[in-house]
Amino acid sequence: MIERDQNVAPATVLPRNRVPNAFSRYPSALLLLVVFGVELGVSMFVIRDVRTVSVEAQQMYARSVLGLRQIGELQYQAQETRRSTLYALTTNDSNLQVEYADQSREADRRVTDGIIAYLQQAGMPNEIDFGRRLQRDWSAYLKVRDEVLASILEGSTKEAVDLDLSGGVPSFERVRQDLDEIKRLYDVQASEELARVSASSRRSIVRLVGVVCFTLIFATFSVWAIQKSRMLGAVELARLQMDFVASISHELRTPLAVIRSAAENIADGVVEGKDQLAKYGSVIRNQSRQMTDLVNQILLFVSTRERRNHYILQSLQVSEIVISAVENTAELVREAGFVVEQHVEPDLPCVMGDLPALSRCVQNLMGNAIKYGAQARWVGIRAFREKSGHHGEVRISVQDRGIGIDKADLPHIFEPFYRSSAVRAAQIHGTGLGLPLARSIAEAMGGRLTVESKLGGGSVFTLHLPSVREINHPASARTPGRDVGTTK
């Protein structure tokens, strides 16, 4: 049974949001979108890490490897300086000796420039110390070298050899040691840089593996969640369809039983006289018409779902819609013993729509109001223009004072085949298609269908329809308001 809470405030339910609809309709696309976004993020992350490692490797190359190469060049040129000086000792030809002296000076200029460049780029205190010591030792060697060269060119070979052995060899040895020290310094720096790059690479790999694992887990979870959602949806649909089949069977069985009973009575000769025969004929006609209406409603809903309906949109007066719906439900109202109060505001603008479809929509709402109207046996139909907010909107509301709708059921009443447990328990017959069909029609006309309900206090379903612009429909097209009055 429906829990009847008299204190529940009226709730308003708008048509469901289109975004969740799209998500539930295209789960694979959503999954792909999510996976693509995650993969994009992962790719950017990986690219950033790879760039970091690359920059570190370039810095290592620039600092240590180029430094080592520079020191190697300095060592070579220093050796060349000394070698050219000693070559001058091997000849007595002054022209050749001058050539060798020239070569020695050219090499020593390169060494001097290299030391200056090293000092300019040196940043660490120990680098600067080593550089200055090298510069000092190199200058000392060059002084000895100049003396040796002068002695050689003067022809004093013995003096040159003595000078070289006493001063040149030890001073050049100091230069060689300085260069070795700087080289060792670069080796240490290169090792540290290499360790740093290796650590960075390892860190990147760990991050990459972590992120890929996360992505895989996330993707797997997404697939699982979507599949579960679809499965639950399919189960729910199957359940609703089973309920629908049961409801339809029940709805069909009752008129069929009446028709069969009437037919048996006629066949058995129980019915006598024209009056009784006419009465039985009327019963059979009414029941068959009820069955036809039921089947038509199902077919109409199916065609609406498959978008096979072709509505003929035209400018309509709101009173036409109300009158059509009331006339078509007059017999039902009369049989149920309901009172229908109608009020159409004067000077309502026209709306654009298909008259039979809109009439069917209002009829469904009236049918529901009668079905769930309980003992009050009252239905109110009101057509009016919204004074605030949606200015170009005309509303047709159908109100009852019946059992109302539970707050928990409100979000589902527009779902096809949905019937609340309270309604099923109360054995109120129905297909669960009336409201979905009404909403489909409203949306097809560019409008919408809303509901306000209070459990035990009745419900108000409102059809919102956009009005036609006055420029297209001058005032002459309007019709005066009609207070149709009360119908029984």
Q: For the window 48-87, what string marks contact with other proteins as x by the rule CB under 8 A?
A: ----------------------------------------
- Binding segment toward other proteins, per CB under 8 A, in 145-153, 244-252, 316-324, 424-432: 145-153
Q: What type of residue sits at position 12?
A: T
Closest separation in Å from C-beta 89 to other proteins:
14
- Binding segment toward other proteins, per CB under 8 A, in 95-103, 269-277, 317-325, 353-361: 95-103
8 Å CB contact between 97 and 152: yes
Q: Please identify, using beta-carbon distances, which residue of 109 and 184 lies nearer to other proteins.
A: 109
- Binding segment toward other proteins, per CB under 8 A, in 34-42, 94-102, 213-221, 385-393: 94-102
- Binding segment toward other proteins, per CB under 8 A, in 92-100, 301-309, 358-366, 480-488: 92-100
Q: Please identify, using beta-carbon distances, which residue of 159 and 415 lies nearer to other proteins.
A: 159
Q: Please identify, using beta-carbon distances, which residue of 93 and 335 lies nearer to other proteins.
A: 93
8 Å CB contact between 144 and 163: yes
Q: Please identify, using beta-carbon distances, which residue of 146 and 341 lies nearer to other proteins.
A: 146
8 Å CB contact between 68 and 190: yes
CA dist 181 to 17, 81, 187, Å?
A: 75, 20, 10
Q: Please identify, using beta-carbon distances, which residue of 98 and 477 lies nearer to other proteins.
A: 98
Q: Which of 146, 341, 386, 415 binds other proteins (CB under 8 A)?
A: 146
- Binding segment toward other proteins, per CB under 8 A, in 26-34, 56-64, 149-157, 268-276: 149-157
CA angle centred on 365, ends 359 and 366, rounded to 5°: 85
- Binding segment toward other proteins, per CB under 8 A, in 29-37, 89-97, 386-394, 429-437: 89-97
For residues 230 and 415, give the distance between their C-alpha atoms in angstroms, rounded to a whole number.
16
The secondary structure of 203-234 as a DSSP string is HHHHHHHHHHHHHHHHHHHHHHHHHHHHHHHH
8 Å CB contact between 334 and 296: no
Q: Give the tokens for residue 209.
A: 């593996």
Residue 150 interacting with other proteins (CB under 8 A): yes
Contacts with other proteins by CB under 8 A: the residue count is: 12
Q: Please identify, using beta-carbon distances, which residue of 101 and 322 lies nearer to other proteins.
A: 101
Strand partners, 467: 351
CA dist 55 to 50, 209, 238, Å?
A: 9, 21, 60
Closest separation in Å from C-beta 156 to other proteins:
8
For residues 117 and 112, give the distance between their C-alpha atoms in angstroms, rounded to a whole number.
9
For residues 394 and 345, give the distance between their C-alpha atoms in angstroms, rounded to a whole number.
10
Q: Which of 31, 35, 153, 332 binds other proteins (CB under 8 A)?
A: 153
For residues 382 and 372, give the distance between their C-alpha atoms in angstroms, rounded to a whole number.
19
Q: Please identify, using beta-carbon distances, which residue of 92 and 121 lies nearer to other proteins.
A: 92
Q: What type of residue sits at position 104?
A: S
For residues 243 and 425, give the distance between their C-alpha atoms in angstroms, rounded to a whole number.
13
Q: Please identify, using beta-carbon distances, which residue of 145 and 482 lies nearer to other proteins.
A: 145
Q: Which of 13, 107, 142, 149 binds other proteins (CB under 8 A)?
A: 149
Residue 154 interacting with other proteins (CB under 8 A): yes
For residues 48 and 339, give the distance between their C-alpha atoms in angstroms, rounded to a whole number.
75
DSSP state of 403: S
Residue 90 interacting with other proteins (CB under 8 A): no
Q: What type of residue sits at position 340?
A: V
For residues 137 and 145, give the distance between their C-alpha atoms in angstroms, rounded to a whole number.
12
Q: For the window 99-138, what string marks contact with other proteins as x by the rule CB under 8 A?
A: --xx------------------------------------
Closest separation in Å from C-beta 142 to other proteins:
13
CA dist 66 to 72, 121, 184, 189, 387, Å?
A: 10, 12, 14, 12, 82
Q: Which of 41, 72, 155, 281 binds other proteins (CB under 8 A)?
A: 155
Report the interface residues with other proteins, using CB under 8 A: 94-95, 97-98, 101-102, 146, 149-150, 153-155
